[in-house]
A and B are shown apart, each in its own frame.
Chain A
Amino acid sequence: MNENKMSVGAFFQKYTMVIALVVVVIFFAIATGGNSLMPGSINNLISQNGYVFVLAAGMLLCILTGGNIDLSVGSVVCFAAAVGCVLMANKVNMWIAVLAMLGIGLAIGIFQGFWIAKVHVPAFIATLSGMYAFRGFSNVVLGGFRVDITNEQFLMLFGGGRDCYIPDFIRQWTGTTGKPNLTCLAIGGIAILVYVLMTVRKISVQKKLNIHQSIPGQIITTALISGVIGFIIWQLASLRGFPTVLIWIALVLGIYQYITTKTAIGRHLYAVGGNEKATALSGVKTRNVYWFAYASIGLMAGLAGILTAARAKGIDPVYGEGYEMDAIASCFIGGASAYGGIGKVSGMIIGAVLMGVINQGMNMVGVDSNLQKVVKGLVLLGAVVFDVMSKRQKR
C-alpha cells in the first residue's frame, strides 16, 4: 500500500483554484479595507449568486456527458419565472405557481433532452433554438413589461425582500433578543458537526479497507473548511441570520454532490463523458444518461427562475440573459473538462465563488462595469490555460 505523498508542485496543481480564491479574497479584503469580509458583503455574495450555484450544478452534469452545454437556461429561467409571476399576479396560490415554475423547467428539459438523446440533435443546436424560442415566449407572457411579486410568503421563502431569513426560533423560545442570531449559529454548528462526523467515518472506512490516505492532511482540510463555514455563519448570524436562499443552494449542492459521487447514474455520467462507446458496450443506456442530464438542468433552470424572481421581487423580460455563460464559466473554472468525464461539484462551487468574489470585489473597488467583463473573460481563459498546461505536464 502506497502512502499518497504529495510534492509541493503537485499540491499547487491540485489546489490551484483554491489558492487562487484565497489570494483573490485577500486581495479584495485589502483593496476594500476589510469591507469585502463584512457581514453585509458575505450576505450579498450569497444572495446575488444563488442562481449561479443552482444552474452550474445542472450544467455540470451536462458538461460531464462530453462537454455538452445548455445555452437555453437563461431564457428558460426568464420564461419559468414569467409564468410564475403572472400566475401570482392573478392571485393564484403561491404553491401552484412554484410547482408551475419547476414543472415548466422540467418539461423544457425533457423536451430538449428528447431531441438531444433520442434524435441525436447536437446539444448546442437544440439548446440554441430553446434560447431563442423561450426568450420570445417569456416576452409574450409578460407582454413586454415587468411583473412584480407582492406575495410576501414567496419572497421570504426564496430569498427576496427584507425578511428572507430564517426567523430566530431559539431567541423567540428563550424570550431573549439581540445579536447574534442563535438559530443561524445552531444551523452552522450542526453543519460543521455533520461534516466532521462524515470525515471521521470516511477515515475509519479507509482504515478498514486498507486505503492509505494522508490522515493529517484530511484532518487539516476538514479543520480549514469547518473554519470557513464557521466564519461565514458567524458573520451571517451577526447581521440578520441565515438567508433562506442558502437553504435552496445547500439542498441543490448536497443532492448533486450525492448524485455525482454515490449513485449509479452519477457514475454513468462520468463514464459516458469518458468513453461513450465503451459505456454503451458495458450495458449502460447512454442516451438515457443524456436525457437525465438535460431534464435535470431544466428543473434547475426552473428553480433558478424562482430564486431570480424572488430576489428581484418580480421579473423583467431581459432577466436571465447571460446566465448560461455564468454557469458554464463556473464549471470550467472549477476544473470541469470541456471534453467531458471530469469535474466535481466541489470544484464547481469554488469556480462559482471565485467569479462571485471577483464580481463583487470589482464592484466595491469601483471598477467600470465594462472592464469587469474583460477581467471575467481573462480569468476564465487563465484558469483553463493553466488547467490544460498542468495536465499536459502530468502526462
Chain B
Amino acid sequence: MEKSVVNQSTIRKADPVSLLKKNAMLIILVLVFIFFTVMTRGRMFNPNSFAALINQNAYVYILGCGMLMCMLTGGNIDLSCGAFVCLLGAMGGMMMVYWGMGTALSIVALLALGVAYGCGLGALIAYVRVPPWIATLAGYLAFRGLGTAILGVSSTNSISFNNNPDFLNIFSGTLFRTPEGELNWPCMIVGIVGAALVVLLIFKNRTTRLKKGYEVDQLGMDVAKCVLGAAAILLVMFKLAMSGGIPTTLVWVGIVVLFYSFITSKTTIGRHFYVVGGNIEAARLSGVNTKRIMFIAYLNMAVLTTIAAMTTMTRFTAANADAGKNFEMDAISACVVGGVSASGGAGTVLGMVIGATLIGVINLGMFQVNLDANYQRVVKGFVLLAAVVFDILSNKKKS
C-alpha cells in the first residue's frame, strides 16, 4: 500500500509564465547576444569573440565561484580579492623573475600564500567575528599598496613573465593549437563528449527522481533541456575549434565551475552553506558547525583568488600595479545578476555562470560596437540595477 504511494511521481506542469520567470536571465542573455550580433553585423558571432569572451572573463567565473560560497553564508562578500590578485602577481614576479625560483615552486609558494591569507581572514571572520565587510576592506586598502611597493623593484612598476614560458603555458594559450579557420578536432571531441554527458546526466537524474517518487518535469521539458544544453555546448566548442582550439583558461574555468557545482548541489558541506545563509541560528542548533563553514568560505575564496591571480598574470604576461582592479565588483555583480541572494541562502553556480556570461557579453558587445568607454560604465551600472530589480520583483509575485 505504502509502496505504491511512494512510487507515484507527480509531474510538474510547465506553465509559460513561471517558465519565463525561472529562466529570465538566460533569455535576457540570449536576447542581448542576438542584439549585439545584429549590431556588429555578425562580428559578435565570430569564433574569436567566443575565445575572447572566455579569456577575458576567466577570472570572473573563478572568483564568482568563491564569492558565491561567501554570499551563500549570508550575503557576506570579499572586497579584498582584487587587491590580493595584485599582491600575488607582485610576489609571483619576485619569485620567478628576481629570485629565480622555478615555476612549480613559485606556484606552490603562491598557493601557500593564498592559504595563509585565507586562514588568517577566515579565523578573523569566523572566530573573532570581525564583520567580513571590514576584515576584507582592510585587505582591499593594504594589498594593492603592498603589491605596488613590491613592484617598485622594476623601473616600469611591472614585471614581465616572458622568460617563463612554462608558467605562461600552464595558465594561458591554447591546447593542441591549429591554424585559425581550421576545425580543431580535439576541441570538437571534448564538445561532443560534454554534450553527451549533459544528456546523460539529465536523464539519469530523471530516472532517479522517478524511482524515488520525487516530482519530475514533463518529458518534453527534459528533452528540450537536453537539446538546448547540448546545442549550446556544441556551438561554443565548434566556435572555439574554429578559433584554434581550447583556450587553456577554459580548462581551469571548467574544472572550477564543475567542482563547485558538484559541491553546492551534491555534498553535505555544500548544503550547509545554504543552511547557514538561510538561518544561521537554526543551522547551529541543528548541529552545523557554523563557524567552520564561515572559515571555509573565506579560505576557499583566498585559494580561488590565487588561481584567478595566476590566470590574470599570464593573460597580461606581466604583473602590474593595476592588475585585479574592480575584480571584486565583477565577481559580486556576476553572482547578483545570476540570482544569488544578497542576503544569503540562495543561488547556484549555473546562475552565477549565466550572470558572468551576460556581463561579459555586454562588455564585449559594447566594446565591439565602439560605444564610448564612459557610456559603457553607465550601461553596466544600469544593467546591474535592472537585473536585481527584475529579480526582486519576479520573486515577490511568486511568494
- Which residues of A pack against B, CB within 8 Å? 67, 69, 115, 119-122, 124-126, 128-137, 139-140, 144, 325, 328-329, 332, 338-339, 368-374, 376-378, 380-381, 384-385, 388-389, 392
Contacts and interface: CB of A to CB of B under 8 A. Distances in A.
B181 interface: no
Which residue of A115, A124, A136, A140 has the most chain B CB atoms within 10 A of its CB atom?
A136
A136 B141 contact: no
A228 B214 CA distance: 73
Nearest to A125: B388
A371 B149 contact: yes
Nearest to A380: B138
A285 B77 CA distance: 29
A133 B141 CA distance: 23
Given A384-B130, A385-B128, A325 B141 contact: yes
Contact of B389 (A67, A121, A133): A121
B131 A339 contact: yes
A369 B152 CA distance: 12
Interface in B124-140: 124, 128-131, 133-135, 137-140
B196 interface: no
A332 B135 CA distance: 11
A136 B373 CA distance: 8
Nearest to A377: B142
Contacts of B148: 370
A385 B124 contact: yes
A129 B376 CA distance: 12
A385 B135 CA distance: 9
B381 A388 contact: no
Given A119-B393, A377-B140, A128 B133 contact: no
A328 B139 CA distance: 14
Contacts of B388: 121-122, 125-126
Interface in B375-399: 375-378, 380-382, 384-385, 388-389, 392-393
Interface in B341-394: 342-343, 372-378, 380-382, 384-385, 388-389, 392-393
Interface in B7-30: none
A371 B141 contact: no
B130 A136 contact: no
Interface string B140-166: 111111101100100000000000000
A136 B376 contact: yes
B376 A381 contact: no
A337 B333 CA distance: 25
Contacts of B384: 125, 128-129, 132
A124 B131 CA distance: 15
A130 B143 CA distance: 25
30 contacts: A115-B389, A119-B393, A121-B388, A122-B75, A122-B343, A125-B336, A125-B385, A128-B332, A128-B384, A129-B381, A129-B385, A132-B380, A133-B381, A136-B375, A137-B374, A325-B140, A339-B131, A370-B144, A370-B145, A373-B141, A373-B146, A374-B141, A376-B141, A377-B140, A377-B141, A381-B124, A381-B134, A384-B138, A385-B128, A385-B130
